[in-house]
């Protein structure tokens, strides 16, 4: 583990270790002993901070989502201040998607959502995670002047996450995300008001 990561608070190091393990080897590979080794902490530290594996998985999922929503909220604020239009926002989303490598943290979240389908104790955390993404999508769509932004938020989130999963599984290009977001936007605003970036 890098020196900077080792200087982070113990609880954060444990959570990041869990995400790395899940991203590489799946939920089944998460053990206290392996977490301790990955995080560079004592075995007792793991059980001190997290009494159960369920708590570990829940907090790891929420930690990742909070970081993601904070990052994308900053981008949304920049979009509003720069006066970006829907086509520009879609292009920006494609750039973000294309520049985001599927590291262990991103892969881990998909694993954790699937695990929530098996373990109902994780569903509350998964619902909280999706609610955070929905709120962010509502903020961005509202800022872009899309009618019924709140009603479209869940669909937008589902579209983005589904296409990200497709990229992860198949290596499909980020441009697919731009096309899909513009298709969704065309159904939400008056026809003829949108165009592909570059006038296409």
Tens-digit pLDDT profile for residues 73-91: 776 676 666 666 777 766 6
Q: Supply 132's token pair.
A: 């955070």
Q: Quick check: 30 and 22 in contact, CB under 8 A?
A: yes
* Global pTM value: 0.74
d(CA 137, CA 72): 9
What is the per-residue DSSP string for 19-72?
HHHHHHH-GGG--HHHHHHHHT--HHHHHHH-SSHHHHHHHHHHHHHHHHHHHH
> Which tens digits make up the pLDDT trace of 166-200?
888 887 776 676 677 777 666 665 544 444 444 44
- Lowest mean pLDDT segment, chosen from 5-9, 107-111, 133-137, 178-182: 5-9
Examine the pLDDT at 1 and tell me if it is beyond 70: no
| Cβ-based neighbours of 97, under 8 Å, separated by 6 or more | 160, 163, 164, 167, 174, 177
């Amino acid at each position: 583990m890098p020196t900077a990561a080792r200087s982070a608070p113990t609880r954060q190091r444990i959570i990041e270790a869990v995400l790395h393990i899940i991203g590489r080897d799946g939920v089944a590979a998460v053990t206290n002993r392996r977490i301790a080794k990955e995080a560079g902490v004592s075995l007792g530290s793991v059980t001190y901070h997290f009494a159960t594996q369920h708590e570990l998985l829940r907090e790891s999922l929420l930690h990742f989502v909070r970081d993601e929503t904070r990052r994308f909220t900053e981008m949304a604020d920049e979009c509003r201040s720069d006066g970006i239009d829907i086509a520009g926002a879609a292009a920006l989303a494609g750039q973000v998607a294309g520049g985001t490598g599927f590291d262990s943290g991103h892969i881990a979240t998909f694993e954790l959502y699937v695990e929530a389908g098996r373990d109902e104790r994780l569903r509350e955390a998964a619902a909280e995670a999706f609610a955070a993404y929905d709120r962010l999508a509502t903020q961005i769509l509202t800022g872009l002047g899309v009618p019924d932004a709140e009603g479209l938020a869940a669909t937008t989130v589902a579209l983005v996450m589904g296409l990200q999963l497709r990229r992860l599984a198949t290596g499909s290009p980020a441009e697919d995300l731009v096309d899909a977001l513009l298709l969704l936007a065309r159904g939400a605003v008056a026809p003829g008001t949108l165009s592909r970036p570059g006038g296409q």
